[in-house]
Amino acid sequence: MAKRVFIGREALEELCRCYPTPFHLYDEREIRSRARALNAAFSWNSGFKEYFAVKATPTPAIVRLLAEEGCGCDCATGVELMLAAACGVTGENIMLSSNDTPDDDYRLAARMGALINLDSADMVECLSRALGGALPETVCLRLNPGGSFEVPDNPAGRPAESKFGMTEEQIFESCRRLRAAGVEHFGLHSFLLSNAQGNGYYPALARLLFSRAVRMRDELGVAISFVDLSGGVGVAYREEDAEADIAVIGAGVRTAYEDILVPAGMGDVAIFAELGRWMCGPAGALVTRVIHKKETYRTFLGVDACAADLMRPALYDAYHHITVMGKEDAPRTHAYNVVGGLCENNDQFARDRILPETGVGDLLFIHDTGAHGHAMGYNYNGKLRSAELLVGEDGSVRLIRRAEKPGDYFATLDIDEDFTAALTRGNRQWK
C-alpha cells in the first residue's frame, strides 16, 4: 500500500522555519486511532489492557496521550518507571518487564505498586532479597519455550537461542517457590517474534501460553490472573507489506481463549499486551533535508540526519520507506544512497533506493520511525539528538522534546573543572 505522509509539503516547510531539521514528527490522530482499534479488538476480554512499551517512544507527551486512551506502561528500567509515574501512570497500570534486573529497579517497582515480570528463576531470590521478603500479591513469569517457533509469513523464531525468559520447568519451580512465599496471583508472559508479519503471531502465542496456564492451574493449583502477550506485532515498513489487521488478531486470540481457557473454567483470565512498534511506529517520521549530493561509484544524498537519529537501518539493515516531499507523484527514476554524516559506512538510511530525481534542498520524510526511532538515538561523533514534534488532532504542531544543545552533550563532564572552564572560555572566544 502507498505510504501515507501525514503532513503537506508547505506545512512542513513552514514548520522547518521554526524547528530546524532533522526532527521526528508524530501524528496524534494515528496514535489514538491505533489505541482505540486495539482496545476494540480485545473488548471481548473485560480485563484487557495494553501496557505501552515505553522503550519504543519514551516521550511523555506520547505516553500521556496513550494513557488517556486507557493504556498503561511496560517499563524496562527504573528510569522508565520514573517516566511512567511522572506521566500519571500508577500502580498496576505499570509493568516492569525487564531482564538482568538490578535490585533497585525491583524496589522502585514494588514501591510504586507496579506489576513485576520475572525473566529468570534466580530472580525469585533477587526479588525476595530486594523487597526484604515482602513479595507482592501478584507476580508474572516470562516463559521461553525453547526450540523454534513457527508462524506463517515469518522466519522461524528461535527461542532456544534467546536470552529471555525461563524454561517451563523453571516456571513451575518458580511458581511453587513464590506461592510458598505468599504470592497469590500469577501472570504468564512470553515474547517470541519481533515485528511479526501477518495476523498469526498473537493467536499462536496465545495458544501456547493458554495451554501452559491451564497446566499451571491444574498441576500447581495456582490462580492465573493474566496472560501477557507482550510486544512483537509488526508494521508494514515496505509498501508491499500487508498491514497487520488488529481486529483479525483480536478475534484469533479470542478463538484460542474460547478453545482453551473457557472450557478449563478460566474464562476470567485477563489478556495483556505490551505493544510498542504497532502502537506508534507508523505514526512517526524522521524529517530531514538533503544538504549534499555526491557522485562516486554511487550517487549519495547526504542528509542532515544520521544514524544517531534513527539507528535501525545501520543496526539491522532495516528498510524505512522514503518520500521526497512534493515529489510524491513524480516517477521514481534514480537510484540513491541516502546517508548521514557519521564516520561509519553503515550510516546509510537507504542503499540503491529508487526515488524521483532528488537534489540539495529537498525535504525527505523517512517513514515509520515512531517506535524504536528517536528512542535508540545516541551521541557518537558528537551528534546531538533531534527534537520531537507532535501534530495534534486539530492540525496544530507542538514541540514535545527539544533538540539537544552542545551543553547537553557536555553536561556529565561538570566534574572536570579544567575542561568546563576551557569550554566556557572557548565559547566566548568563538562567538
Contact residues for ligand LLP (CB under 6 A)? 53, 56, 74, 97, 191, 194-195, 230-232, 274-278, 312, 371-372, 376
Q: What is the dihedral of CA 1, 52, 188, 224, to 10 degrees?
A: -120
CB of 195 to ligand LLP, least distance (A): 6
Q: Nearest distance from residue 53's CB to ligand LLP, in Å?
A: 3
Who contacts 206 (Cβ-Cβ below 8 Å, separation ≥6)? 227, 229, 252, 253, 256, 257, 271
Least Cβ distance, residue 141 to ligand LLP (angstroms): 13
Least distance between ligand LLP and beta carbon 233 (Å): 6
- CA separation for the pair 22, 231 (Å, rounded): 28
Element (H, E) at 284: strand 284-295
If phi over 0 gives left and psi between -120 and 50 gives alpha, with beta otherwise, what is residue 227? beta
Residue number, 232 or 284, with CB nearest to ligand LLP: 232
Identify which of residues 95 and 110 has a Cβ nearer to ligand LLP in the complex.
95
Longest dimension (CA), the chain: 77
- Cell numbers for 354, please give them: 529508487
Of 110 and 196, CB closest to ligand LLP: 196
* d(C-alpha 316, C-alpha 72), whole Å: 29
User: Measured between alpha carbons, how far is 385 from 308 in angstroms, rounded to an integer?
Assistant: 7
Least Å distance between CB 12 and ligand LLP? 25
Phi, psi for 77 (deg, rounded to 5): -145, 170
- Minimum gap (Å) between residue 329 Cβ and ligand LLP: 30
Q: Residue 228 or residue 362: which is nearer to ligand LLP going by CB?
A: 228
Residue 101 or 358 having the CB closest to ligand LLP = 101
Closer by beta carbon to ligand LLP, 203 or else 231: 231
**Cα-Cα-Cα-Cα dihedral sign, residues 368, 372, 373, 374:** positive
Minimum separation from the CB atom of position 37 to ligand LLP (A):
15
Q: CA torsion sign, 326 to 330 to 332 to 333?
A: negative
Cβ 415 to ligand LLP shortest distance, Å: 32
Beta strands 387-391 and 23-27 are: parallel
Among residues 30 and 74, whose Cβ is nearest to ligand LLP? 74
Peptide bond into 155 cis (omega under 30): no
Q: CB nearest ligand LLP: which residue?
A: 231
The span from the CA of 258 to the CA of 249, in Å, is 14
- Taking the complex as a whole, how short is the minimal distance between the CB of residue 234 and ligand LLP, in angstroms? 8
Nearer Cβ to ligand LLP, position 279 or 324?
A: 279
> Residue 172 or 272: which CB sits closer to ligand LLP?
272
Beta strands in 358-412 (DSSP E): 363-367, 387-391, 397-401
